[in-house]
Structure 1
């Protein structure tokens, strides 16, 4: 079994256009998705992230630390959250990613990336 990060790319512009009913459907869809992958034993963890506008980039050059407000790249899409799953194959990870409600919304995306190293509690 291999671990994969399913990265949910979100767009504030797309999210703002969704109705309250559509937003509620996404949230309940995430609950159903989590239950499904817990039942299959593929769920490891999940985390929702704050808006990219609230992030900062830290770099160190010649011993001086610089902090810049905002994400690393300015893009229409930002990382809204992620799931860590453990699947038998890349193809199964793609199938699992397709179950995430965000994957079904035009303008949003779910990226599947293999995890090469894990450390920490329950990872």
Structure 2
């Protein structure tokens, strides 16, 4: 089964990175990536830019409205993701629980509905 793991960030996490958490973060993600590549569970992973981000909405007249993103009037934002193919949601949750970011903000695990074409 395929799962999307969404890693949220917030200002407290950014502050922690500036105060010495960067090495632990890099080591943890590196270890998880190597493990998932070796097991064949990793489909894709990436960090999401906060520089090139736009929030798009349409109104009842189908007009497009945009604002600078990615902050949709929230204190948390999706900072990155993992797309994994693993045996169960329990395994996906176990992977998500390893991320340093989970100490500061949510890490969301969601099963994908559609199979790849």
Range class of TM-score, shorter chain: 0.7 to 0.9
- TM normalised by structure 2 equals 0.83
- TM normalised by structure 1 equals 0.80
Superposed CA RMSD in Å reads 2.1
SS in 1 for 2:43: strand
Change in Cα spacing, 1:12 to 1:36, as seen in structure 2 (3 Å) is same
* Cα distance, 1:11 vs structure 2: 0.7
Alignment gaps of 5+ in structure 1: none
Pairing 1:60–2:75 present: no
Q: Deviations over 1:20-75 (max 9, x none)?
A: 53112101211111001111221110011012x75222223314222122346322
Distance (whole Å) between structure 2 residues aligned to residue 72 and residue 22 of structure 1: 23
Alignment gaps of 5+ in structure 2: none
- 1:33-72 matched pairs, under 5 angstroms: 33-51=32-50, 55-61=53-59, 62-71=61-70
1:112 to 109, 113, 116: 109
